[in-house]
Amino acid sequence: MQFLLLSALYVMFTIRALDPTYIYIDTSSTFNEMQVIRLEFVNDGETRNLVFMLNRISTPPDLSFSQCVGNLCHFQDSISYTYAGGIMDTIELEFYSGQTPGLIDAFYLVYDAGSPWQRDSIHITGVVPVREQGNTHLEYFNGMLRGEDIRRVTLYSISGAVVYEGSFNSVSEVELPVTKNGVFLCRVLAKGKIMNFKIVRFLR
């Protein structure tokens, strides 16, 4: 009896993230205001009517979202779709920033419409940064950040971990410890404004 009960609660389908689930939507230009997370979906041997839903815990109010499921893209947070047994598919989640900055905290859920306790989920976090305003200019080259009246610098890994943090009394240059290949997120307080930008380091 105990074995049968555990079997009934076993998740019969799975989703797995193919991309990092930390979102940083670069709003420094109008040409890069979207980020995509790809998921691998695997169904078992049964045909299932499934619900695919973004559960927003905290997001900017004008953050738009679409999900591409079964070769169709939907601009709704919740949709239903029927998958035949034994199907594998790639689901794409697309996030579009608006004018409002803020943190992103959400869960993407997949559950059986007839058996809601059969479900799987992934946790999505991230940030839509403050747009750069005014004439404040920052420049990063070869490990050196340059600007005017730099007061504070925080460097994050793409997973959100703090790599470096420093406070200063109005400097014009800061050496950043970017020694490994990868994508880093930098938040700078300069001339009374907070600015966010992305550093991509790739050396062969």
Inform me whether the pLDDT recorded for 166 exceeds 70.
yes
Percent of the chain scoring above 70 in pLDDT: 83
Angle at 194 between CA 30 and CA 27, to 5 degrees: 15
- Band of pLDDT at residue 124, cut at 50, 70 and 90: very high
Helix, strand or coil for residue 196?
A: strand
- Share the mean pLDDT of the chain: 82
Answer whether 146's CB lies under 8 Å from 9's CB. no
Which residues, 6 or more positions from 105, have their beta carbon under 8 angstroms from its beta carbon? Answer: 56, 57, 58, 59, 124, 125
Distances 130 to 36, 41, 98, 183 between C-alpha atoms, Å: 20, 34, 11, 19
pLDDT at 23: 87
Q: What does the domain layout of the chain look like in residue ranges? A: 2-128, 139-201
Q: Could you give the CA distance from residue 56 to residue 19 in angstroms, rounded to a whole number? A: 19
Closest CA to 184 of 202, 166, 203: 202
Q: Which CATH number fits domain 139-201: 2.40.50.140, 2.60.40.3080, 3.40.190.10, 2.40.30.10?
A: 2.60.40.3080
Least confident of 40-54, 96-110, 111-125, 151-165: 151-165
| Fold equal for 2-128 and 139-201 | yes
Please say if the pLDDT value at position 135 is more than 70: no
| Architecture category of domain 2-128 in CATH | Sandwich (2.60)
**Which of 140, 151, 152 lies closest to 184, judged by CA?**
140
pTM: 0.60
- Taking only the tens place, the pLDDT of each residue in 3-21 is 444 444 455 899 999 999 9
pLDDT value at 31 more than 50: no
